Amino acid sequence: MFKIRSLAKGDFLYHDNKRVEYSASPNRSGGHANGQPSILVMHYTAGSSARSSANWFANPAAKASAHITIGRDGEVIQSVPFDQRAWHAGKSSWTTSDGVKLSGLNSHSIGIELANAGACIATASGGWVNPLGVRVSSDDIVEARHKNGPVWFQSAGHVAEPGWEIYPAAQMRAAIDIATALVETYSLREIVGHDDISPSRKNDPGPAFDMAGFRGVVFGRSEDQADLYRVRPGTPDGLAIRTEPTKFSAKVQDQNLVPGTVVEFNESDGNWWFVTVLDANGNDQLDGWVYSKYLIEA
């Protein structure tokens, strides 16, 4: 469980009573407008890993930072205390649900970066690559139109439906848990994407991120709510369910779980999750291990 604690040097994130890794960024300012943040902004890094992005934020030359970076496997690194301004939003504006017009969202928000390549174009070898050279397997790509229109690539011009790296379930689970803790601690009112507050220049977190579902889970979560997921649409050949957390172990059943199958999370071993498969009425069917990158929030 994630919690925020106020220390002498600021507000920091803890997981199971242990402070998460802190890689301090010099790219920060004083406190938020009105004394505390009111909005959570979600981003993707466009980088190769959470570590590489956190290392970049620690460099003064970056002139950028985020409060938290979450890796594909759920690794969490904090760069800026939550009660200080990270430099994640840049030139930005937003009208809140109650009609208040805000500009310069760094002054009003907490920023979470998700390690993710973002928008990609296909390569001759059958893979995908983003503008910074980060390569992504075709198994981890969905092709989709961005809500703000075609995406510009220097090498290809405007692309109507580029590829987007998916967000693994382990990463999304950590993001939901952290966002829930932030909403509860600071009474955050809204969750938005960088592409909401800077639509003319930013594409993150993009169409692979289910913003509506994310908001619904975070704002609607209760302590006794079951952790339900479903097999990601488009999963090749369905999802195998196995007796042990390895692709070499025997299957629990010969038939793979079809896309849309709902499962309940029980425990994890890295990216392998032990789940209970539920039928259409929510009744338990069977238990086993599945590879979590093919799961999304139900």
In the chain, the domains with their CATH numbers are 2-116+167-220 (3.40.80.10), 119-165 (no CATH), 228-297 (2.30.30.40)
CA separation for the pair 138, 72 (Å, rounded): 16
Give the span between the Cα atoms of 122 and 102, in whole angstroms: 38
Identify whether the C-beta of residue 89 lies closer than 8 Å to the C-beta of residue 109. yes
Evaluate if pTM is beyond 0.85. no
d(CA 239, CA 260): 10
Among candidate residues 290, 66, 257, 40, the one with its CA nearest the CA of residue 168? 290
Q: How far apart are CA 288 and CA 247, in angstroms?
A: 12
- CA 204 to CA 167: how far, in whole Å? 12
* Helix, strand, coil tally for the chain in percent (to 5): 20, 35, 45
Task: List the pLDDT tens digit at each of the 298 positions of the chain.
Answer: 899 999 999 999 999 999 999 999 999 999 999 899 999 999 999 999 999 999 999 999 999 999 999 999 999 999 999 999 999 999 999 999 889 999 999 999 999 999 999 999 999 988 999 999 999 999 899 999 999 999 999 999 999 999 999 999 999 999 999 999 999 999 999 999 999 999 999 999 999 999 988 998 899 865 456 688 999 887 878 999 999 999 999 999 999 999 999 999 988 887 899 999 999 888 999 999 999 888 988 7
DSSP string over 175-217? HHHHHHHHHHHH---EEEEHHHHSTTT---S-TTS-HHHHHHH
For 65, 128, 134, 251, 287, the CA distances from 284, given in Å and listed in that order, are: 44, 38, 40, 18, 8
d(C-alpha 291, C-alpha 240), whole Å: 8
